[in-house]
Amino acid sequence: MALLINNKCINCDMCDPECPNQAIYFGQTIYEIDPDKCTECVGHYDSPTCVSVCPIDCIKPDPNKRESLDTLAEKYLVLTQQG
- Residue 83 scores a pLDDT above 70: no
Q: Which is more confident, 77 or 82?
A: 77
- Residue 1 scores a pLDDT above 90: no
The pLDDT tens digits of the residues spanning 9-54 come to 999 999 999 999 999 999 999 999 999 999 999 999 999 999 999 9
> Phi, psi at residue 26, to the nearest 5°?
-85, 120
CA 49 to chain centre: 8
DSSP assignment, residue 56?
A: T
Q: What is the CATH number that goes with domain 3-79?
A: 3.30.70.20
Domain positions in the chain are 3-79
